Amino acid sequence: MARRLVEAADEETRNHLPTRETLIRRIKAYEAGHNRPGDPYRVLYARAFGIPEADLFDDPQDVSASEHPTRGSLAGKAPDGDDMERRRLLQLAATGFGILGLSGEAVRQLLDLSLAHDFRSAEEWALTCDDHLYALRTRPPAQVAADLIIDLLLVRRQLETSAPAEVAGLQRTMATLSTVHANALTRLGDHGAAVRWWHTARHAADASGDRELRLLVRAEEAGHGLYGQRAPETVLHLVHDAKQIAGGPSVDLMTTQAKALSLLGRHDEALGTLNALLDLAAKGVTGDSLGFWKANQIHFAESWVYAGAGDEARADTARTNVLRLTRDYQYQANVALHEALCMVVRGDVDEGMRQAAAVITPLAPAYRSNHIIETGKILLRAIPRDQQDRPAVGDFHEVLTSEVSKSA
């Protein structure tokens, strides 16, 4: 059909037609009923079949305006799929970008999407996911969120016109990108939007039928919920529900469970969960194969739990292991804050506050993520009530609540 449409076009029209692959996707969208052909495709269909346009379509565009006032004028013509998508993208450019603070380059890319048909192969989407995951670990979260919006819109468009055989793979992409986006929004402290994107990620993962991905999304959602997004009790409930999908022990879920128990002051249970986690890891059980889970996450959980329990020696060893295995700015800052937490738990409040302030103050504002600020708040909550009025505590509280910190 695509070949026949090209053959039916005159030279000028043919020069403006999209690529063969894009034309095929457009035809599939027409056949699926997602939208109706507009100019010049109506004319090309009529020529290809040798049937007058008025007979081929039940809403011919060449009917005079006097017969149908709502037709024959730009204002009255119903938009085809491209027009509707272009209007939707332009509306996002006008309203959504101010909220996210996106750059002019992001606006330019979005407008390009309104004119182009950048459909990608499964391999290209896999590379896109890897790129965004790398960006999440190395770049400011605001930049990550801005860049992700472009590809999230694109994969959604491709899903709307994809063949049935392609849907599962595109749902995997949507789930993965939505998970990264929810992570970035959590780092920005935009918890309401993050929770909605976690929902999108779960829905797409379930639609993909990929059990590993379904578990990963839920584990990520629970883990990031610990940073001021949800109550620790709610996080434990999310972990419990995700275990039903796992069907067995999950190192990713156990790291979150141990940290949530530590936040609740249930240190013996946290240490017990951590020991079970270490036994599981010693048997070679690892996390996902999608690039999210890293071995440093076990050591990070150790650093958190041991620091919360005041076990200085083991917390120091865990921190060293984290720093040896990752360059993620967020992990590096937070294990240093764990060291300060351990000082506070062991009774050295002033030194712990000075250590914590020394971690956060040098960070560029764009890198003062919600995860780092919330870890600082964990320190403040660990200070005994009779020590809350110490000058060092006030100084650190000011660091956390300063306008620079809020800009994250």
Smallest Cα–Cα separation from 273: which of 310, 295, 298? Answer: 298
HEC sequence for 220-259: HHHHHCCCCCCCHHHHHHHHHHHHHHHCCCCHHHHHHHHH
Give the whole-angstrom CA distance, residue 57 versus residue 73: 18
Give the amino acid at 79: P
pLDDT at residue 101 in the model? 45
pTM exceeding 0.95: no
Structure tokens at 215: 């578990």
What's the token pair of residue 230?
């949800």
- 284-333 tens-digit pLDDT: 767 666 778 788 899 999 999 999 999 999 999 999 999 999 888 999 99
Element (H, E) at 304: helix 296-309
* Nearest one of 71, 79, 17 to 43, comparing CA atoms: 17
* Amino acid identity, position 345: V
Number of separate helices (H) and strands (E) present in the chain:
22, 0
In this prediction, residue 39 carries a pLDDT of 81
* Crossing angle (nearest 10°) for helices 251-263 and 211-224: 20
For the record, the structure tokens of 129 come out as 């996911």
Give the pLDDT confidence of 142-199 residue by residue, as tens digits. 999 988 988 998 898 888 888 888 999 999 999 999 999 999 999 999 999 999 999 9
User: Under 8 Å CB-to-CB from 184, ≥6 apart: which residues?
Assistant: 136, 141, 142, 144, 145, 148
H-helix or E-strand spanning residue 397: helix 391-401
- Per the listing, tokens 């530590």 go with 262
What is the per-residue pLDDT for 12?
84
Q: Which residue type does 47 have?
A: R
Complete DSSP assignment for 254-270: HHHHHHHHHHTT-HHHH
> Which parts of the chain have pLDDT scores under 50?
60-79, 93-103, 114-115, 403-405, 407-408
